[in-house]
Amino acid sequence: MIRAAGSRWSWCFPAVVESLERDRDVRHLYLTAVAARVLGVPWERAGRIAGDVEHGRFELGAERVGRFTAELANADDGAALWCGVRFLGSETSARGALQRTLRHEPSRAVRRAVGDVLVRHP
């Protein structure tokens, strides 16, 4: 779960996170892509899941929590890491993984996203 501060892409994480937070279409597209890849579901289903996640209406379940927790360690894809945070946000069983990410994540933008999720879903 702990990423090296020297990840070759960590310099661009703030811009990536800002884009995901600001642009609804970009956010939906990336959430859809991550859902399709991590859950192994067809694109249309992944798009519906992404919409549910954005509105706080999607519950992962225990098996899926583990899959998205792995995204928190994705040192080469800040957007996938951010999406993992969003998918795990309302999952009580993911609190420990999110708190560890908050403590060890070198990117301030990603830490802010994790903090936002932890505050919104105490």
Q: What are phi and psi of 103, to 5 degrees?
A: -75, -35
* Domain count of the fold of the chain: 1
Its pTM surpasses 0.85: no
pLDDT bracket for residue 49 (50, 70, 90): very high
pLDDT bracket for residue 9 (50, 70, 90): very low
Rounded distance, CA 82 to CA 112, Å? 10
Q: Mind listing the pLDDT tens digit for each residue in 55-81?
A: 878 878 878 888 888 888 776 777 888
38 vs 9, higher pLDDT: 38
Is there a domain that residue 1 lies in? Answer: no
Containing structural domain, residue 56: 20-120
pLDDT at 61: 80
Q: Classify residue 7: in a domain, yes or no.
A: no
